[in-house]
Structure 1
Amino acid sequence: MSIAAYIPRIADRLLADDLASWPAVIVTGPRAVGKTTTAIRHAASALRLDRPAQRGLALDDPDAAVSIGPFPLLLDEWQHVPEVLGAVKRAVDQDRAEPQRYIITGSARGDLIAGSWPGTGRFLSIELWPLTGRERFGNAEAPSLFDRWETEHRFSVPPQPPGILDYLQIALTGGFPDAVEAPNQRRRERWMRGYVESTASRDLGELAIGSGRRRSPERLTRYLQVLALHSAGVVADAALAEATKLDVRTARGYHDILRTLRLVVDVPAWRTNRLKRLVATPKRYLADSGLAGWLARVDEVAIQHDADARGRILDTYVAAQLRSEAEAAQDAVHLHHLRTHRGEHEIDLIAEFGSRVAAFEVKSGSAPTQKDARHLAWLRDQLPRDRFAGGVVFHTGPQRYGLGQGIEAVPICGLWG
């Protein structure tokens, strides 16, 4: 994604606000989601540490390298000169009152070396995820959905909303900028293949350094394919290990690597003292619906004949939209899922913000009824009236309408408004 063709991101507002009040911000997220492209738009200068000509001074004297400016200074691909993080720490400790000094992007390896990570307590962190529908088709500069939740316009349906085939095509395209810009499906599939191969070789090798265990690119790819087949599912570690023919410990190791790379997202189960007998197993998602579809070998033709795949891909897509909205909110938003032990009640996603709870279901149908909202109604009736912020059934039809007190049906494109 070139700067000339820059697509505004939901995270732009948060990055600007954080820089205005804090000396150092680190932008994390999956590889190839546009972290550098976004960060450089907020920087006055950049030190591209993956370029030999620019990293020389940083290798010789990192403190001098980070002091030159002008500020804000982008330190891109920090992992090529890890010493710059210590230099930023020292600069920030010297004057914490001065904001807008450093933006840091690069490897996810910091997650695995938390014991020696110098940014703890000094850097604010922003997660940048694949492009959302609001960034592609709507107004990315609007406040987060959760910041405008109490307004009439929290959802805005366009005059000509997509149909189900359009939604499936959008979801299978995904949100990686290079995949979105691919001229046709064949080129997009070639990009996906290269991305997975690079993840299984280069990224795996980088993250396995110092682990003391041999990691196999083939096994990582197989584990990623199994996760794609179960995306948007509540799957235990043992079941994933069995499906990939790995022992549980090895499978968990690969899972941790994929979480570190932000390619897999585990949504924790919601817990509350008011409800008993809830499962504790997380809900597993691929971070990008397009990558999930490619790994699961589901294309735009096959998905029309596979109801389970349609449900999983659309759920994965909507979860990605809500994840970016939660990340961009001014106040903390925590995403969960809910399922009772016997499966009597199940809710795809629950957002907890402040003292309030909003609940979301995703349906591939075009006209959900109150039956489709029965689990949301059950949750509403279990909670105090002032705690339940509302329930939403996202669907592929054109209309937004009520499904009972505090619950509504909303086209998926309502998230783009």
Structure 2
Amino acid sequence: MAYLPRTVDHELDELLPTLAAISLDGPKGVGKTATAGRRASTVLAMDDAGQRQLIQADPDRLERESSPVLVDEWQRLPEVWDMVRRSVDRGAAPGSYLLTGSASPGEGATTHSGAGRIVQVRMRPLTFAERRVEAPTVSLGALLEGAQPDIGGSTTVGLADYTDEILASGLPGVRHLAGRARRAQLDGYLARIVDRDFPEQGHPVRRPRALRAWLTAYAAATSTTAKYSVILDASTAGDGDKPAKTTVIGYRDVLTQLWILDPVPGWVPSRNPFTRLQQSPKHHLADPALAARLLGATEGSLLDGSELGPSIPRDGTLLGALFESLVALSLRVAAQSAEATVHHLRTANGVHEVDFIVERADHRVLAIEVKLAASVEDRDVVHLTWLADQLGSDVVDRVVVTTGSEAYRRRDGIAVVPLALLGV
């Protein structure tokens, strides 16, 4: 397959010439090895037993190889992290090391944080813009600058296309497939998590069906702030033999280590008039296609509004939740490129909520709502207006992301942007 340039390429190109060691982290299959390998002179694969043994026998080998040295799947030999850290302490030159990891080290592994030596960069599945479905006309970075840029552009991408992209996946090795082959590949990806990745993290699964049921319930909770107790109850409906709370916490922790869970945290602002904000995260899997596959969703079931899988209370349809998850993926990659972070806002009483708060380093914010519709009415921007009234100039811009055909600014200054036209 031809290499699809990624947003993170620009980050690496900016960082690698000045930093001695960079770790590229993310779930399996997002393309970390391909992206890092394009910059490496030497590749050491730690999922290869022979290469692991070579490094264990001769740790100084890392410093003799031609740089940049890519240590792929470093978590399979956790001590290599400290080898790289010590090399940096000894004065390794900029651009010496790239590490890729599909998991944080498993239970029992002891490694230094690497703070100040190894800079960690997150890599996620392909965003909508990275999939080259449409040429974006609106820059998230420009919106964050706060100059209220002109908004324009049109697209023929519609609801059925977004539905196709949700199901197609942002995993490069999956999305070129179609039909049964794609479903089989996604099933295999999910089965590997249970059968291989959990044991490799030091957590053999005694009840695979219980883990799969919990993961399916989590998928049903996509784009909600459902409590973990609600997710557990939904995963064991009609089953009197529930997993222990400690077991479920173990599920959550390992899936987080594997970068499979990718929740959007509640916003904790540094300065504002709010007294009570809900801190519960909004639930998202790394790729909306994984959630769709766990729930058995198809194009037809999503478009006709069918509710699938365990019952989790939410506003709107399953397609709306998965579309918001696709937006979340796209925003997080673009925000990372702009050195910003993504959160959600919900008041403790639930009266006000904003789907996404993109926060700059100076704590000023871009407020974003998501609407699974082609048009935007006044009632759709009530929370954006409320937030601007509360925070004043700390809100640099306001946006509604839609499935429509036109990007424009409303008379109240709020930008309306189809997801297909939103880029970095």
Please confirm whether the aligned pair reaches a TM-score higher than 0.5, indicating the same fold: yes
Letter paired with 2:232:
A
Cα displacement (A) at 1:337: 0.9
Alignment match, 2:235: 244
One of 201, 210, 219 as aligned partner of 1:219: 210
Evaluate the alpha carbon distance shift between residue 254 and residue 45 of structure 1 in structure 2; reply closer, same or farther with a 3 A threshold: same
Alignment of 1:201 onto 2:195 = yes
Alignment match, 2:283: 284
TM-score by length of 2: 0.88
Alignment of 1:359 onto 2:367 = yes
Alignment of 1:254 onto 2:284 = no
Greater shift in the superposed pair: 219-228 or 311-320: 219-228
Cα distance in 2, alignment partners of residues 87 and 142 from structure 1: 45
Any idea what SS the aligned residue of 1:341 has? coil
Cα distance in 1, alignment partners of residues 375 and 215 from structure 2: 33
One of 159, 171, 174 as aligned partner of 1:176: 171
Q: Contact conserved, 1:222 with 1:244, CA < 8 A, in 2?
A: yes
Cα displacement (A) at 1:320: 0.5
Q: Contact conserved, 1:225 with 1:295, CA < 8 A, in 2?
A: yes
Any idea what SS the aligned residue of 1:27 has? strand
Cα displacement (A) at 1:283: 1.0
Alignment match, 1:27: 24
Letter paired with 1:345:
H
Letter paired with 2:296:
R
Any idea what SS the aligned residue of 2:302 has? helix
Letter paired with 2:289:
G
Cα distance in 1, alignment partners of residues 152 and 73 from structure 2: 38
Alignment match, 2:112: 117
Q: Contact conserved, 1:71 with 1:100, CA < 8 A, in 2?
A: yes
Q: Extract unaligned runs of 5+ from structure 2.
A: 237-242, 306-315
Q: Contact conserved, 1:361 with 1:392, CA < 8 A, in 2?
A: yes
Cα distance in 2, alignment partners of residues 274 and 170 from structure 1: 39
Evaluate the alpha carbon distance shift between residue 51 and residue 152 of structure 1 in structure 2; reply closer, same or farther with a 3 A threshold: same
Letter paired with 1:396:
T
Greater shift in the superposed pair: 387-396 or 401-410: 401-410
Evaluate the alpha carbon distance shift between residue 340 and residue 49 of structure 1 in structure 2; reply closer, same or farther with a 3 A threshold: closer
Any idea what SS the aligned residue of 2:389 has? helix
Evaluate the alpha carbon distance shift between residue 56 and residue 278 of structure 1 in structure 2; reply closer, same or farther with a 3 A threshold: closer
Alignment match, 2:98: 103
Evaluate the alpha carbon distance shift between residue 343 and residue 295 of structure 1 in structure 2; reply closer, same or farther with a 3 A threshold: same
Alignment match, 1:79: 75
One of 362, 368, 375 as aligned partner of 2:383: 375
Q: Contact conserved, 2:368 with 2:398, CA < 8 A, in 1?
A: yes
Q: Contact conserved, 1:89 with 1:119, CA < 8 A, in 2?
A: yes
Cα distance in 2, alignment partners of residues 413 and 279 from structure 1: 30
Evaluate the alpha carbon distance shift between residue 118 and residue 314 of structure 1 in structure 2; reply closer, same or farther with a 3 A threshold: closer
Evaluate the alpha carbon distance shift between residue 377 and residue 404 of structure 1 in structure 2; reply closer, same or farther with a 3 A threshold: farther
Evaluate the alpha carbon distance shift between residue 280 and residue 149 of structure 1 in structure 2; reply closer, same or farther with a 3 A threshold: closer
Cα displacement (A) at 1:219: 2.1
Letter paired with 1:177:
P
Evaluate the alpha carbon distance shift between residue 256 and residue 156 of structure 1 in structure 2; reply closer, same or farther with a 3 A threshold: farther
Alignment match, 1:187: 181
Alignment match, 2:48: 51
Letter paired with 1:244:
S
Greater shift in the superposed pair: 190-199 or 282-291: 282-291
Alignment match, 2:417: 410
Any idea what SS the aligned residue of 1:409 has? strand
Letter paired with 1:18:
L
Any idea what SS the aligned residue of 1:233 has? coil
Alignment of 1:89 onto 2:85 = yes
Greater shift in the superposed pair: 23-32 or 77-86: 77-86
Alignment of 1:396 onto 2:392 = no
Cα distance in 2, alignment partners of residues 265 and 336 from structure 1: 12
Identity level (%): 35
Letter paired with 1:27:
L
Alignment of 1:294 onto 2:293 = yes
Q: Contact conserved, 1:357 with 1:390, CA < 8 A, in 2?
A: yes
Cα distance in 2, alignment partners of residues 217 and 109 from structure 1: 21
Cα distance in 1, alignment partners of residues 288 and 173 from structure 2: 14
Evaluate the alpha carbon distance shift between residue 355 and residue 111 of structure 1 in structure 2; reply closer, same or farther with a 3 A threshold: farther
TM-superposition CA deviations, 1:261-285 (whole Å, max 9, x none): 1111222212344113322211111
Cα distance in 2, alignment partners of residues 54 and 155 from structure 1: 52
Evaluate the alpha carbon distance shift between residue 152 and residue 358 of structure 1 in structure 2; reply closer, same or farther with a 3 A threshold: closer
Cα displacement (A) at 1:141: 12
Any idea what SS the aligned residue of 1:125 has? strand
Letter paired with 1:110:
P
Q: Extract unaligned runs of 5+ from structure 1.
A: none
Any idea what SS the aligned residue of 1:126 has? strand
Q: Contact conserved, 1:231 with 1:286, CA < 8 A, in 2?
A: yes
TM-score by length of 1: 0.90
Q: Contact conserved, 2:142 with 2:149, CA < 8 A, in 1?
A: no
Evaluate the alpha carbon distance shift between residue 36 and residue 392 of structure 1 in structure 2; reply closer, same or farther with a 3 A threshold: same
Cα displacement (A) at 1:100: 0.3
Q: Contact conserved, 1:85 with 1:118, CA < 8 A, in 2?
A: no
Cα displacement (A) at 1:252: 2.1
Q: Contact conserved, 2:40 with 2:68, CA < 8 A, in 1?
A: yes
TM-superposition CA deviations, 1:65-123 (whole Å, max 9, x none): 20122111111122343332222122111105x20000011341337668533523310
Q: Contact conserved, 2:106 with 2:201, CA < 8 A, in 1?
A: no
Q: Contact conserved, 2:20 with 2:96, CA < 8 A, in 1?
A: yes
TM-superposition CA deviations, 1:10-38 (whole Å, max 9, x none): 00011121111110001110111111011
Cα distance in 1, alignment partners of residues 88 and 138 from structure 2: 29
Cα distance in 2, alignment partners of residues 114 and 275 from structure 1: 41
Cα displacement (A) at 1:408: 1.6
Cα distance in 1, alignment partners of residues 138 and 58 from structure 2: 41
